[in-house]
Structure 1
Amino acid sequence: MKPLHQPIFLAIMMVLAAPLSFADASLQNWYNDPFIQVRSNIPTCPMPLGPMSTKEEAQQESHWRLERGTSCWLQGLCSKPNSYAYDAGIAKSVAAHFANDPRFSRSSLWITVQRRFVWVEGCADDTTVTADVLDAFVRAEPDVERVIVNVKQIGDEHVPYAVMPKP
């Protein structure tokens, strides 16, 4: 093969090989929903799946997200035209709140924020870290509409949330 054709050949091979390497339908945060680890003191705690999905799942969810995002404003329940517009601010505020509260120091917790709903998922090595305590803690933040808590206590066999697949 002539030297001039070698770069073209390599470029063509890379383009042809690219779809093969992504054929496993990799997971991504397609809508950039806030997904933040707010505590990290239990290294064996499984990481939640959070807002990660395949491209196909994201496409199937797109109409529903559009409808849910605008219905808040149309019903007069939001001052912003889309309920997802609150998420980044809520996530920042909730994360700062967790960082400054010692009650959750024996936990590994993640938050996912979507359309003013906050999911708290992870593990706790402290029986005082209950769903009610976490719900009240997060609900105290402005603009939070709903809190969903799925936390595994150390010693429990069952993980109450979808987990990130191992690489």
Structure 2
Amino acid sequence: MDSLLRLAVVLGISLPVFAVQAAEHVEHEVPVAQAGGSGPGEPTRRNWFGDPFLQLSKDIADCPLPAGPFITEAERRVQSHNRAERGTTCWLTGSCERPNFYRYDRDIAEALRKSLSQAHPFANTTVWATVQGRIVFIEGCVRDDRVAPRIEAFVAALPHVQRAVAIVYSDPASRPPYKLRFRP
């Protein structure tokens, strides 16, 4: 993305807002093979779009790390069109005050951080949140599956959140219901 942004600047071409945001906020480039268990030549996963990703709790040891917003370059190409379309359609239809659906995400993540500093509503869990287009995905481990609706309600009550989805599990012997950052 850096080379694309540089080329656009040199040629005087304006890029869509989402492309510039992605170039400015790429973080945490992590080769999948670094975690072990992955074969050589595995593609690098990056947070191409700069989506907020934060750990909300860490009470359960050995909970597998979700992939969150970290995707391969091939996955980025597949998601780019849909993200651009969703990002601007919201504003064009008048259902968003901001010109891009994804511009709410950092504020949502900050509100989530602040609310967690005042209370610890996710006791007996190890969960992470990914904020993408006003939807908050909460992934990880819980001691009791019945906590999922409470987690969703807590997050959904934050400003600008359109939907909260808890993808959690309580049986450590079972396979996680979410995509993992690293292959076991």
Partner SS for 1:98 = helix
Gaps of 5+ in 2: 1-39
1:122 matched residue in structure 2? 140
1:40 matched residue in structure 2? 58
Partner SS for 2:167 = strand
Partner SS for 2:60 = coil
In the TM superposition, 1:113-152 aligns within 5 A as 113-126=131-144, 128-129=146-147, 131-152=148-169
Structure 1 residue 153 displacement after superposition:
1.5
The answer to whether 1:83 aligns with 2:71 is: no
Gaps of 5+ in 1: 1-21
1:12 matched residue in structure 2? none
Q: List, as ranges, runs of 4+ consecutive aligned residues in structure 1 with deviation greater than 6 Å.
A: none
The answer to whether 1:153 aligns with 2:170 is: yes
Larger Rg: 1
The 1:96/1:33 distance shift into structure 2, 3 A limit, reads same
- The equivalent position to 1:58 in structure 2, one of 59, 76, 81, is 76
TM-score, normalised on structure 2? 0.72
Q: 1:139 is matched by which residue type in structure 2?
A: A
User: Is the CA contact (8 Å cut-off) linking 1:39 and 1:98 kept in structure 2?
Assistant: no
Structure 1 residue 145 displacement after superposition:
0.6
Structure 1 residue 148 displacement after superposition:
1.3
1:96 matched residue in structure 2? 114
- The equivalent position to 1:73 in structure 2, one of 68, 91, 108, is 91
Structure 1 residue 51 displacement after superposition:
0.8
User: Is the CA contact (8 Å cut-off) linking 1:38 and 1:99 kept in structure 2?
Assistant: no
User: Is the CA contact (8 Å cut-off) linking 2:90 and 2:101 kept in structure 1?
Assistant: yes
Could you give the per-residue CA deviations for residues 42-94 of structure 1, whole angstroms, max 9, x where no partner exists? 12111111111111211221111100101111111100000100000101111
TM-score, normalised on structure 1? 0.79
Structure 1 residue 100 displacement after superposition:
2.8
- Output the aligned Cα RMSD: 1.9
Q: 2:72 is matched by which residue type in structure 1?
A: T
User: Is the CA contact (8 Å cut-off) linking 2:108 and 2:158 kept in structure 1?
Assistant: yes
Partner SS for 1:79 = coil
The 1:163/1:137 distance shift into structure 2, 3 A limit, reads same
State how far apart, in whole Å, the 2-side matches of 1:104 and 1:132 are: 11
Corresponding pairs, count:
145
What is the percent sequence identity of the aligned residues? 39
The 1:92/1:135 distance shift into structure 2, 3 A limit, reads same
